[in-house]
Structure 1
Amino acid sequence: MIAVTGAAGFIGSCFVRTLNEQGYNDILIVDSFEQDDRWNNLVTKKFRGIEHPEVFKRKCSEGIYDAHDISALIHMGACSSTTERNAEYLLENNYRYSIAMAQFALAHDIPFIYASSAATYGAGENGYDDVSVSGLRPLNMYGYSKQLFDEWIIGNGLEQSVTGIKFFNVFGPNEYHKGDMASMIFKSWKQVHAQGHISLFASDIAEYPDGGQMRDFIYVKDACKVMWNILQSKQSHGIINLGTGKARAWNDLAHAVFKALGKQSDIRYVSMPDSLKGQYQYYTQAVMNKLQSSSSAHRFMELEDSISDYVVNHLEQSTTRYY
C-alpha cells in the first residue's frame, strides 16, 4: 500500500489520480479535512482508506505499520502558505512531522519522496542550482521550514536514501481550495470572468518591467508524471529541482489565459502590498541537470499548452473540473 500524505490537497490528489491511471488503487489517504472543499479532490479517486495525519504518525511510531503495510511513503502534506506567520505551526507541520515520516520510511527501508520547495532559494542570490542546499536564504518562514528539513536530511547523511522535490510554481486542477495560495493562472481565469481584465503586480525594480517578473511555472500533470517516474525507478534522487528549467514572465501567463478563453488581452498593473515587499521573488528558474540526467527525465509541456489544457479542459468544464 502506498501512503500519500496531503493526499486531499493540490499535488497530492493529482498524484493519487496518476497512481489510479497506472492501475494502482492500493493507496492510503493521509490528510485532515478542514472547512474547505478539498474533499472534492478525492471524489473520483480510488483508494483503500483515509487516516488523519496524527493517527498515521502514531501508528508509524508504535509499530502498527511496517514495510508489510506501507510499500512507499509520498509525503506531500504540509502547510503550503508562504504568508503564514505562525512559526511554531510551520515547524510542527513542515519540519517535525516530516522528520517523523522520514524516520519511519528509512527504518523500514521503503521509498520516501517528499515535497521541498523553491521557496528555499529566497531571492536567488545564490542561484537555483540543486547541487547544494547550504547557504540558501529563504525570504519567509515557510521557505525556512522547508530548508530546515532539507538540512536535516543532509546533516544526517540521508540524501542518497530519499528524494526531496523542490517544487517551483506548480499550477493546475485541484488547487481550487487554496485561496490566496492558488496559482495566478486560476486567479487570472477568475478575474477575466469577473471583471474582464487581469491585474498583475507592478515592478519595483528597474531591471524588470511591469508584469516582466519571471517564474518557472510547471503544470501539475507534468509534476506528477515526474513523481511517478521517480517512484517507478526505485532509486533515490537526493534533493532535486522540479520546474521546467524555463522562466516565463507574468505577462506571458496572462496572455495565455486570454488566448485560452478566446479573448483579447487586457492586463492592468497594481502596486504590490507592503506585506509582500522584501519577500517577493522577481525571478526563479530551476536548474534541471540532476533530474534530466537521471532515469526520471521528462519533456515538459510549453506554458501556453499547459494553460490551454487547464482552462479549456478543467476550469471551463463542470464535469471534468477536477483531475
Structure 2
Amino acid sequence: MILVTGGAGFIGSNFVLDWLEQSDELVLNLDKLTYAGNMDNLARLEGDRRHQFVRGDICDRDAVLALLQRHTPRAIVHFAAESHVDRSIHAPGDFITTNVNGTFALLEAARAYWGGLDAGQRGAFRFLHISTDEVYGSLGPGDPPFTEATPYAPNSPYSASKASSDHLVRAYHHTYGLPALTINCSNNYGPFQFPEKLIPLVIANALAGKPLPVYGDGGQVRDWLYVGDHCRAIRRVLEAGRPGEVYNAGGGNEMKNIDVVHALCAILDTLAPKAQGSYASQVSFVPDRPGHDRRYAVDAGKIGRELAWCPLETFASGIRKTVQWYLDNQQWVANVQTGAYMSWVEKNYVNRGNA
C-alpha cells in the first residue's frame, strides 16, 4: 500500500487514477476536501477495493501517525497543498498553515512511523514530496532553465511556502535519515484541474461567453507539462529515485500566456464553434498581479539521464486532449463552480477592471 495525501485534488487524483490503471497496489487516499478537493474526480473508483479514502488533515500529526501505523504503507506521496498564487496573495496564512505546518506535521508522523519499522521495511520506505518550479523564482528572457542546483528565490507567498516545505523535507533526510525525495514540476494542465487556473478558466469562460482574463500584457512565459506525464515522472522517482535527491520535471513547452489563450481559442473554434466569430474576441487584459514572475523554464536533464523519463505529450497533443476532456465533462465543471468559486473569480478578476 501507498499513502497519497491530497489525492482528491487535481494532480493527486490524476496520480491515483493513473496508479490504479498501472498497478493493483492499494492506495490509501488522505484529503481534507477543501475547495479544490473533489470526490467527483475519483468517481470511477467507487466500489474499487484497491482505493480507500480517508477525510483528514495533514496538520493533525497524531491522526496521521495512527493512520500510518494502522495501514503500514510502504511509501507516502505528498501532494496536499494550497497551490494557487492568486489565493496566496489574498490569504497567505492558509498557505503557511497547509504547506509549511502541514508538511512539518506529516514529516513528524512519517519519521515516527518509519522509526518503528523493521530494518527491511525502513530501507524500502520512501517519502516523496511534490513541489513546484516556482521555488526557483523568475528567469530573464535569455537565462538558462532551472536545474536542481538553481538557488531558491521564491517571489510569492505560495512559492515561499513551498520552498519552506522543500527545505523541511531536505532537512529530515539529512538530519534523521528519512528516505525522502522531492520532485519540482513545471505548470501542469489536464483533466480535473480546478477552473481558477489559466487553462480551465479560459475554457469555462469561453464556453459561457465571458471575458477571458489575461494578466498584464500576457507575455509571462511558462513551461507546460501534461499531468499524465507528471504522473509518470512521479512513479519513476518513487520506483528508482535516490533518497535525498531532487528531480525537476518539465514539459519542454515554453509558451507565453497570451499564446496559450489563443491556442485554446483556436481549438475551441474547431471543436465547439460559436455561432459567429472566434472565441479570441473575448480576450480581456486585466491589471497584472503583484510580483508576477515573468518566466519559468525547467531543465529535466537529470530525471532523463538517471531515470529514463521524458514527457510523451507535446503541448499541441496535450492541450487538445485537455480541451476535449472539458467539453466532454461539462457537468463536472458546473459542479465545481459553486457560489464560493464565483465570488473568488469576482474578487480576483472582475474587480480589477480592464487594463
- Using the size of structure 2 for normalisation, the TM-score is 0.75
Do 1:121 and 1:127's aligned partners in 2 also have CA atoms closer than 8 Å?
Answer: no
Q: Percent identity?
A: 21
Do 2:135 and 2:160's aligned partners in 1 also have CA atoms closer than 8 Å?
Answer: yes
Q: Does residue 188 in structure 1 map to residue 202 in structure 2? A: yes
Partner of 1:94: 99
Q: Does residue 23 in structure 1 map to residue 23 in structure 2? A: yes
Shift in alpha-carbon separation, 1:94–1:66, aligned structure 2, 3 A: same
Do 1:160 and 1:238's aligned partners in 2 also have CA atoms closer than 8 Å?
Answer: no
Do 1:230 and 1:296's aligned partners in 2 also have CA atoms closer than 8 Å?
Answer: no
Structure 2 residue corresponding to 1:150, chosen from 159, 166, 179:
166
Do 2:139 and 2:295's aligned partners in 1 also have CA atoms closer than 8 Å?
Answer: yes
Q: 1:296 Cα shift?
A: 4.5
Q: SS of the residue aligned with 1:174?
A: coil
Q: 1:189 Cα shift?
A: 1.1
More helix by share: 2
Q: For the residues of structure 2 that align with 1:87 and 1:200, how far apart are their CA atoms?
A: 23
Partner of 1:48: 52
Q: SS of the residue aligned with 1:187?
A: helix
Partner of 1:78: 81
Q: For the residues of structure 2 that align with 1:198 and 1:216, how far apart are their CA atoms?
A: 21
Q: SS of the residue aligned with 1:8?
A: coil
Q: Does residue 175 in structure 1 map to residue 189 in structure 2? A: no
Q: For the residues of structure 2 that align with 1:29 and 1:68, how far apart are their CA atoms?
A: 11
Structure 1, unpaired ranges of 5+:
204-210
Q: 1:104 Cα shift?
A: 4.0
- After TM superposition, the structure 1 stretch with the greater mean CA deviation from structure 2, 69-78 or 121-130, is 121-130
Q: For the residues of structure 1 that align with 2:21 and 2:79, how far apart are their CA atoms?
A: 19
Q: 1:140 Cα shift?
A: 1.2
Shift in alpha-carbon separation, 1:235–1:14, aligned structure 2, 3 A: same
Q: For the residues of structure 1 that align with 2:199 and 2:35, how far apart are their CA atoms?
A: 24
Do 2:3 and 2:75's aligned partners in 1 also have CA atoms closer than 8 Å?
Answer: yes
Q: For the residues of structure 2 that align with 1:166 and 1:114, how far apart are their CA atoms?
A: 9
Partner of 1:270: 285
Q: For the residues of structure 2 that align with 1:93 and 1:16, how far apart are their CA atoms?
A: 21
Q: SS of the residue aligned with 1:28?
A: strand
Q: 1:303 Cα shift?
A: 0.8
Q: Following superposition of structure 1 onto structure 2, how do residues 191-206 of structure 1 map, counting pairs within 5 Å?
A: 191-195=205-209, 198-203=212-217
Alpha carbon RMSD of aligned pairs, Å?
3.0
Structure 2 residue corresponding to 1:162, chosen from 161, 171, 180:
180
Structure 1 residue corresponding to 2:266, chosen from 225, 244, 259:
259
Q: 1:43 Cα shift?
A: 1.2
Partner of 1:213: 220
Partner of 1:129: 146
